[in-house]
Amino acid sequence: MDKKKFTQLMASVALTLGVATFKKEDGTFSLSDAQHEQIVTMFGQSFADVFRKNLSNYREDNSTVAEEKKFLTLQKEFDDYKKKTAEQISAAAEREKNLQNLVKRLSDEPERDFEAAKQSAVPTRKTFKADMTLLHNRVIENALNGDGLMQLAGETINASELQTEFGKYISDQKYEIISTLFGKVQATQYMTTKMTEKSEWRAVQSIITDLMQKFTPYWTPSGKVEFRPLTIVNRKHKINLAIKPAEIMEDVIAYLYDEGLQPKDMPIVKYIIEHLVKPKLDEERDIMLATDVYDEEKNSEKKDGDSGDIGGSMDGYVTILRKLYAEADSGMVKLMEGVTLTRENIYNEFDKIYSSIPVKYRTKNFNIHIDPDLFRLYELAREDKFPNSKNEDENKKRLQHTNFVFVPMDGMTGTGAFFITPKENFIHLLSKNRGSSKIWMQGENYDVKLFGEWWESTGFAIAELIFGYAPAANIEDEENQEETV
């Protein structure tokens, strides 16, 4: 047999037997009887005898030394592989054991504990539950159950207990209450809300116009900052309201009865906020956002207990419009200057709106924010002019042959004003610091005092994007209107 091939065979057989090399004396290799028997078992008697004979005739030289070193290297790699495999098998067995233990432990535990653990991992919204140990809640509950304890209500309602419950309710539902009280009213849905932590707000960037030009390989800027941003001052407002809990108990019970609620689902403090305070606040905010006039001195001389005067806490958007309309160089696009609107001329004057505003805005989908009385006057004038026809877009109240839609604003009633502006230019300003909006209660004998504070203002970002009509005396007086009708 070729010596090189036999060297390779010898290495293979030794590897199979799990030995580094065979026994060697005086340069001659030999098989032990045990090794011979192993080879017989694995490869047969004939192969074993031939291999043993050739091995005894094989003599070591330089080449066999190299082959032996190569074999030893292979053997080491083989041993390392077996060790690594054994470690992996052991680690897998350990993981399987741990998994089985976990399955067993979870199977032994009550399912409700596992569900509780799952829920605790995910933040959940707090839900307020009325404290049924407080007397006013027990009185309401008994009355709803027909136990007839209402005759005690006037003597047993404890303002300090109501204050305690109010404080916990505010703590649990703070941001939801703030949003409920000081959130959107009719006007704000047509505005863009901006949040600031500063006392004043201005648009960051003016409108850039006239950009396109014929190409030349030179820098020839044509865009001009045409418009100047207006400043909107953020103003602080407050609520001071005195309530006699005993006097509203019957109203609370009637509400809960009609709605099919229990006191725990509708605590008396929630009723006070949502059904006494919020509707009145919405009504007043809609008006103040429109027509309020800021008065630095208003209520400044008042003392504790004095009756406070309403209003004077900010300039409303109609107030701002009137100032801009009166200024000679305000930038506002003034419509119908010098005109007093009547039933006889209003329709023709509104026909001129389209051609009175800049060309680039004439085809836009804009709202005409308008005094409801002024809109009614326009509708009557339209009927006078076309008695046998209807508005071609009655439901949307669209100014005919334009994309402008009339939007009567509750807060503008009686102002005789209207204006057109993009929603992005009609700003509703709030404080970015949510902690600056507060509501709390104090108890005093059988009365409670409700306090609220928040920052809010309104205005316009850029005067040149306002197209409006807002003179101080703007339409014929109500008496003349009724005679004309």
Q: Note the pLDDT tens digit of each residue in 342-376.
A: 999 999 999 999 999 988 888 889 999 999 999 99
| Predicted pLDDT of residue 116 | 41
Tell me the range of 23-37, 53-67, 116-130 where mean pLDDT is highest.
23-37
What is the residue-averaged pLDDT of the chain?
A: 79
Same domain, 439 and 366: yes
Residue 258 lies in a domain: no
Q: Is residue 253 helix, strand or coil?
A: helix
Residues 274 and 413 in one domain: yes
Q: Which two tokens stand for residue 181?
A: 């009280």
Considering the domain architecture, whether residues 53 and 199 belong to the same structural domain is answered as no
Single out the residue of 417, 387, 456 nearest to residue 179, CA to CA.
456
Residues 278, 381 share a domain: yes
Greater confidence, 53 or 118? 53
pLDDT surpassing 50 at residue 119: no
Query: Which residues make Cβ contacts (< 8 Å) with residue 473, sequence separation at least 6?
Result: 340, 416
Most confident of 59-73, 356-370, 376-390: 356-370
The confidence score (pLDDT) of residue 323 equals 95
How many helical (H) and strand (E) elements, i.e. helices and strands, does the chain have? 16, 16
Q: Tell which wins on pLDDT, 132 or 378.
A: 378
Q: Note whether 324 and 448 are same-domain residues.
A: yes
Confidence at residue 115, expressed as pLDDT on a 0 to 100 scale? 45
The residue from 124, 148, 172 where one domain ends is: 124
Domain count, the chain: 2
Q: Could you please report the per-residue DSSP string of 24-86?
A: EETTEEE--HHHHHHHHHHH-HHHHHHHHHHHHH-B--HHHHHHHHHHHHHHHHHHHHHHHHH
Domain that holds residue 119: 1-124
Q: Say if pTM beats, i.e. exceeds, 0.85.
A: no
Residue 154 lies in a domain: no
- Please state the rounded mean pLDDT for residues 313-341: 93
Residues β-bridged to residue 23: 30
In a domain, 143, yes or no: no
Using one digit for the tens of pLDDT, what is the confidence trace for 247-305?
788 888 888 888 888 877 778 888 888 888 888 888 889 999 999 999 988 766 767 76
By the 8 A CB rule, do 415 and 474 touch? yes
Domain membership flag for residue 249: no
- Opening angle at CA 274, ends 312 and 255, nearest 5: 135
pLDDT at 195 over 80: yes
335 and 450 both lie in a single domain: yes
Over range 1-30, report the average pLDDT: 75
Q: What is the pLDDT of residue 100?
A: 75
Asked if 117 and 173 sit in the same domain, the reply is no
d(CA 76, CA 126): 65
Mean pLDDT to the nearest integer, 162-177: 81
CATH number at residue 190: 3.90.1690
Same domain, 48 and 169: no
- Confirm if 168 and 127 have CB atoms less than 8 A apart: no
Q: Residue 113 domain-assigned?
A: yes
What is the pLDDT at residue 120?
A: 45
Query: What integer is the mean pLDDT of 222-235?
Result: 76
pLDDT for 315? 94
Q: What is the pLDDT of residues 83-117, one digit of tens each?
A: 777 888 888 888 777 777 766 666 655 544 444 44
Residue 105, pLDDT score: 64
Based on the fold, state whether residues 77 and 211 are members of the same structural domain: no
> Which is higher by pLDDT, 218 or 277?
277
- Give the orientation angle of helix 278-291 with respect to helix 317-326, to 10 degrees: 10
Q: Are 183 and 71 in a shared domain?
A: no
Residues 6 or more apart whose CB falls under 8 angstroms from that of 219 comprise none
Residue 133 lies in a domain: no
Angle at the Cα of 106 from the Cα atoms of 102 and 107, rounded to 5 degrees: 115
Average pLDDT estimate for 213-240: 76
Q: Is residue 367 part of a domain?
A: yes
* Residue with the two structure tokens 């099919």: 260
pLDDT band at 190 (very low <50, low <70, confident <90, very high): very high
Q: Which of 101, 135, 137, 14 is nearest to 64 (CA)?
A: 14
468: β partners: 334, 419
Residues 372 and 475 placed together within one structural domain of the fold: yes
- One domain, residues 281 and 366: yes
How much is the average pLDDT of 470-481? 58
pLDDT for 72: 64
Which percentage of the chain shows pLDDT scores above 70?
77
Torsion angle in degrees (nearest 10) through CA of 153, 266, 248, 280: 170
424 belongs to a structural domain: yes
pLDDT (tens digit per residue) in 425-444? 999 998 877 667 788 888 77
Cα-trace Rg, the chain: 45
